[in-house]
Amino acid sequence: MKRALVILVLGMLAWIPSGAQAIWDIGHLTEVKESLDEPFYSAALEALEGRADAALEAEPLSVMMKKKIPASGDRHDYMSLARYFWPDPSKPDGLPYISRDGHSNPELNDLDRNKLGETSERVTVLSLTYFFTGDEKYAQKAAELLRVWFLNEDTRMNPNLEYAQMVPGHNGGKGRCYGILDTYSFVQMLDAVALLEDSEAFTDEDAAALKKWFGELLDWILASPQGRQESSSANNHGTAYDAQVIAFALYSGKEDIARKILDEFPEKRIFAQIAPDGSQPHELTRTRSYHYSHYNLGFFIDVFLMAKNLGVDMDESVSEDGRSFYKAVDFLVPYIGEGGEERWPYEQINGFDEVSRKLCMDLLRIARYLAPERTDYIRLCETYADVPLADPFNLLY
């Protein structure tokens, strides 16, 4: 068997129950919890509690709050605008909208995408704070937010993305395949939800209903035209599709689906998207090429961490002509630090320094959980990431 296609099974008993950590390491979180009196962790926890306390006062968000109704006529259907599409100034009504790649349209705020992201973020912050402090008030608020967005009949989101990333004036208001990416924040949120399962506030009935909801969303993603098209995407959208299918399958108890995606992942994503020199050709065509090249690697890391929790090691997969994840990482590394933006030979219209900082943080994730021998990644993070002591990243990684 070709080395490039080998997936090493680390242990037949390395199965994780649905709801268990996927991209976080529960062992590490437990160690941190036992060391919260150390200044390094106490500063991050204090900041996390501050955000959680603010979330305690926040009004629960729902899909019922959007200013427009989807073409279905059902406000429960999630609806978002394609981020980089704007009214056509040459048309009286602005229709159909036209693309301005790299420039976000503020009309996003009128629909569901930002509310979905805010809900995911609040649930994550509240659940982590509950885990580290044991204070049930945080679990109670997280459970309330989950019920309002996902479960309550009057406010729940229907488990589909039929109208995600729609473009006004196109396709009768239906969404596009790219809308599958809108729910990516749920991947980390579900790790946070797993931390609630010992609380009094998040009941067994809540957990069962939420797992059912994610199972239904997964079924829609797998069967819908948008989902099937996204599955065939050759860039970061394809990687993100796989990561979400794996996470939602694991959470809803459909591990066979997760394993099927993982079996195909090296050939379908790593070798197909990364050139022998480590470049990612599809990402380099964008106006924010450095951003999207890193963005895709973040999805790869999440997939590798979920695979590792299933006893599957694939981050070191290499094709016969040398394509690999680590080649892609090392293609970006030389541009970290002073002068990197000037030396980057492709287009990046804004945000280069912030991308470099986030890349350094992902280098630490790689070194801690995937490739501990890469101490050079740790040094780069220490030198250039500039992670404040108050950043929750310090608690997680």
pLDDT at position 15 is 31
Local structure of 288: helix, strand or coil: strand
Distance CA 266, CA 67 (A): 42
Residue 226 tokens, joined: 């948008």
Q: Are the C-beta atoms of 318 and 3 separated by less than 8 Å?
A: yes
The pLDDT > 90 percentage for the chain reads 93
Q: Max Cα separation, the chain?
A: 63
**Tens-digit pLDDT profile for residues 239-265:** 999 999 999 999 999 999 999 999 999
pLDDT in tens, 36-48: 999 999 999 999 9
pLDDT one-digit tens code per residue, 261-298: 999 999 999 999 999 999 999 999 999 999 999 999 99
For residue 343, the model assigns a pLDDT of 98
pLDDT reported for residue 20:
54
pLDDT, position 4: 38
The structural domains of the chain, ordered by start, are 1-18+253-397 (1.50.10.100), 37-235 (1.50.10.100)
| pLDDT score, position 22 | 85
- Average model confidence (pLDDT) across the chain: 94
Q: What is the pLDDT of residues 180-232, one digit of tens each?
A: 999 999 999 999 999 999 999 999 999 999 999 999 999 999 999 999 999 99
- Distance, in Å, from the CA atom of 227 to the CA atom of 177, rounded to the nearest integer, reads 6
Distance CA(177)–CA(391), nearest Å, equals 33
Report pLDDT digits (tens) over 53-103: 999 999 999 999 999 999 999 999 999 999 999 999 999 999 999 999 889
Asked if residue 340 lies in contact with residue 351, where contact means CB atoms within 8 angstroms, the answer is no
Global pTM? 0.93
Is the pLDDT at 3 greater than 50? The verdict is no
142, 207 Cβ separation under 8 angstroms: no
pLDDT in tens, 99-117: 998 899 999 999 999 999 9
**Strand ranges inside 290-367, DSSP E:** 312-313
Is there a contact between 127 and 138 (Cβ–Cβ < 8 Å)?
A: yes
Task: Say which residue, 317 or 11, is predicted with more confidence.
Answer: 317
What tokens were used for 243? 């990561």
Q: Within a 10 A sphere around the Cβ of 18, how many other Cβ atoms?
A: 17
Is pLDDT above 50 for 19? no
Half-sphere exposure of 378 (CA within 13 A, CB side): 10
Q: DSSP of 220-275, one letter per residue?
A: HHHHSHHHHHHHT-SSHHHHHHHHHHHHHHHHTT-HHHHHHHHHHHIIIIIHHHS-
pLDDT tens digits along 326-361: 999 999 999 999 999 999 999 999 999 999 999 999
How much is the pLDDT for 102? 87
